[in-house]
A = this chain, B = another copy of it.
Amino acid sequence: MKIALLGFGTVGSGVVEVIAENQESINKRAGSPIEIKYILDKRDFEGQPINKLIVKDFNSIIEDEEVEIIAEAMGGIEPAYSFAKAALARGKSFVTSNKELVAKHGAELLELARQNKTNFLFEASVGGGIPIIRPLNQSLTADEIYEITGILNGTTNFILSKMKNEGRTFEEVLKEAQELGYAERNPEADVEGYDACRKIAILASLAFGEHVNFEDIPTTGITKITEEDMEYAAQMGCSIKLLATCQKQEGGIFARVAPSLISLEHPLAMVNDVFNGIFVKGNVIGEVMFYGKGAGKLPTASAVVADIVDAAKHKGTNIISFWNKEKLELKDKGQVKVSYFIRVQKDREDINKCIEAIFGKVTEVKALANEYAFITDVQTEATFSEKMNALGDIKVKSKLYFIK
């Protein structure tokens, strides 16, 4: 079974390494020997054994009838999207770790794969090496999924874990993460939640069967989390995590990415450092969670190679999946029911009365000096916004979703 690899960066070189390292068992599981025939990359790799596989032109790959599987690890929408379409149209399987591509064009590429009796596989696009796409597609088939909540970004989880354990500021820890190579020089995609947003869009589309536009998902990052927020969390027996979630709620489906307070009793609270955790609720299975390294060269390559094996085993047959092109209309954000943890400046003695006058009954939380802190009842976002506006000159220091 001849394959081609697009891109020889971190993940691409990991794929070469994994196939070399575990050749024997991989070939056994794939049912035939897997051989990399081409690697598409702009650069030359003089003196390295893979240099003889390097090609600069995608056409030499697509025109080669021997190549049955193409694995893409370039990232970004183009040219990955065009390459995927060309490969699938020719009946070649296309495997990718590219979350941007899958979030934007997943439904269309799955449909193209179906039409051409081939496969579009993307286990590595969410949760790195953690098996989640295949379990959702093939294991949780007896269930109606009604919630997926995940810690889907290792960089932000590393930052939040460090802030919690070491009482340091976001800026300090981000700098350290950048020095360690855990965060990019331009960290926006991670710390603003954009990466997690694409991943939850993919999971929501698979779980609910219709295409969720990632642009429709309200997304907040972790840049405004402070040491004081962390102190409150610890005192409340909670942890602050960047949670990406999609849930059925009173008929509609909502999704969001936002830093949230969860109880230390919640299985996701123990997902620390660069690890990811994906928590799934189904109507018969109850709660299950998948945990592991959500990024990194070898874990991600492990998922890409597992997809290559699956593509080899399913040559000529499409693996059913339930993500169709119809757009899933997410529930209006204002109608989603939520509970918030709020910190306000205690600029008057009767602040508790003011808050109660606006929010009704709240759960007061032991506060830092000159602050008043509380947890609201469950209410719609729209109602909550109105109440926040009614605060007038009372200064809000922080607000975080509170997950019961």
List chain A positions with a Cβ less than 8 A from chain B: 14, 18, 21-22, 25-26, 28-31, 123, 129-131, 134-135, 138-144, 267, 270, 282-293, 296, 298-299, 301-306, 308-310, 313, 320, 322
9 CB < 8 A contacts A-B: A21-B284, A129-B284, A131-B288, A134-B135, A142-B301, A284-B299, A284-B302, A285-B293, A285-B299
A320 to B305, CA, bound (A): 17
A129 partner, pick from B285, B298, B304, beta carbons under 8 A = B285
Name the B residues within 8 Å of A296 (CB-CB).
286
Which chain B residues border A14 with CB–CB below 8 Å? 284
Q: Chain copies in the assembly?
A: 2
Chain B positions within 8 Å of A129 at CB level: 284-286, 288
Residue of B whose beta carbon sits closest to that of A313: B320
In the assembled complex, the Cα of A18 lies from the Cα of B143 at a distance in Å of 8
B299 contacts A22, CB within 8 Å? no
Chain B residues with CB under 8 A of A123: 139
Across the interface, name the chain B residue whose C-beta is closest to A134: B139
A286 x B298 contact (CB < 8 A): yes
Q: Would you call B306 and A142 a contact (CB within 8 A)? A: yes
Please, how many angstroms separate the alpha-carbon atoms of A290 and B322 in the complex? 23
Closest 5 CB pairs of A and B: A142-B305, A131-B139, A288-B292, A289-B291, A129-B285
Q: Contact: B267 with A310, CB < 8 Å?
A: no
Residues of B with C-beta under 8 A to A287: 292-293
Residues in B with CB closer than 8 Å to A135 are 131, 134-135, 139
Q: Give bound CA distance, A141 to B286, whole Å.
A: 27
